[in-house]
């Protein structure tokens, strides 16, 4: 007999939500990327994947066909979704461009590294006297690529994590990346940011700004999906 947790997941999927997204195909990205320095070390960020996983789960419970492209995380992966695990920004870029064309919506909640080491050592970098300088280069801009290759009728949603000038910076990103919506939050606001079970976001489109109060990330996920569809 299945474990109680598994049984509950199936009951929840069948009974908890109206299947208002049935027939929709949604791609979600989540988690951090890791950019190797050598076989031992890498550059990354504090993203846990909680927000992206909450979106993927909410969409699946509401009947959508969901693909989740995820960096390395320590949390349980959502059930009833197609999981594609990646490591680096380049890996995520390749996975997204392969899957994006067939999607009705792409929700890019991952915290993708903007830079990676220009050279990756094949052996462990040994400690020496003095400082060490690491040259960095830009990674692929996944959201920009999506905006430039958007298919007819497709909806693109990005996320913007800021520490200052949140609305201005996020709206500029919305316009520059040619996307339909951006979900902005400020790392310095209590209840928002990496690793929390809650979030405080503002949903920004070309014509509107919707400031939400502090909610669980699951509540934010459902509100976001309802705004998109």
Residue 66 lies in a domain: yes
Residue 193 lies in a domain: no
CA 102 to chain centre: 18
Amino acid 139: pLDDT: 98
Residue linked to tokens 């462990």 = 124
Amino acid 193: pLDDT: 83
Amino acid 223: pLDDT: 97
What is the CATH number for 13?
A: 3.40.50.10300
Amino acid 3: pLDDT: 79
- Report the 10 Å Cβ neighbour count for 167: 15
Amino acid 48: pLDDT: 96
Residue 178 lies in a domain: no
Amino acid 7: pLDDT: 83
CA-wise closest residue to 157 among 201, 190, 197: 201
Query: 65-70 and 181-186 as β-strands: parallel, antiparallel, unpaired?
Result: unpaired
- Please indicate whether residue 45 is annotated as part of the active site: yes
Residue ranges, the chain, pLDDT below 70: none
Among candidate residues 45, 165, 169, 185, the one labeled active-site is: 45
Amino acid 6: pLDDT: 84
Residue 164 lies in a domain: no
Residue 184 lies in a domain: no
Amino acid 8: pLDDT: 82
Query: 82-85 and 198-199 as β-strands: parallel, antiparallel, unpaired?
Result: unpaired
Amino acid 65: pLDDT: 98
Residue 146 lies in a domain: yes
Residue 23 lies in a domain: yes
DSSP notation for the chain: ---HHHHHHHHHHHHSS--TTTT-EEEEEESB--EESSSS-EE--S--SHHHHHHHHHHHHTT-EEEEEE-S-SSPPPSSSEEEE--SHHHHHHHHHHHGGG-SEEEE--B--SEEESS--SSPPPP-SS-----EEEPP-HHHHHHHTPPTT-EEEEEEEESSSHHHHHHHHHHHHT-SEEEEEETTSTT-STT-SEE--EEEESS-EEEPPSEEHHHHHHHHHHHH-
Domain tally for the chain?
A: 1
| Residues facing residue 210 across a β-bridge | 203
What residues make up the domain containing 66?
4-122+133-156
Residue 188 lies in a domain: no
Give the list of residues 6+ apart from residue 226 with CB closer than 8 angstroms, or none.
Answer: none
């Amino acid at each position: 007999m299945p474990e109680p947790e598994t049984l509950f997941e199936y009951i929840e999927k069948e009974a908890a939500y109206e299947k208002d997204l049935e027939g929709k195909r949604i791609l979600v990205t989540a988690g951090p990327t890791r950019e190797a320095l050598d076989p031992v070390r890498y550059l990354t960020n504090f993203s846990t994947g909680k927000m992206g996983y909450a979106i993927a789960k909410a969409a699946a419970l509401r009947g959508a066909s969901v693909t989740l492209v995820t960096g390395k995380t320590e949390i349980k992966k959502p059930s009833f979704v197609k999981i594609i695990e990646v490591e680096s920004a380049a890996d995520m870029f390749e996975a997204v461009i392969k899957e994006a064309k067939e999607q009705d919506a792409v929700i890019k909640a991952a915290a993708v590294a903007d830079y990676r080491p220009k050279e990756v050592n094949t052996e462990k970098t040994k400690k020496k006297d003095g400082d060490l300088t690491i040259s960095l280069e830009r990674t692929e801009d996944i959201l920009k690529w999506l905006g430039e290759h958007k298919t007819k009728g497709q909806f693109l949603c990005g996320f913007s994590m800021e520490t200052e000038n949140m609305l201005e910076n996020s709206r500029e990103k919305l316009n520059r990346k040619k996307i339909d919506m951006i979900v902005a939050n400020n790392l310095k606001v209590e209840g928002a940011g990496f690793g929390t079970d809650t979030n405080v976001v503002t949903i920004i489109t070309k014509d509107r700004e919707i400031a939400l109060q502090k909610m669980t990330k699951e509540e934010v996920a459902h509100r976001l999906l309802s705004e998109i569809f």
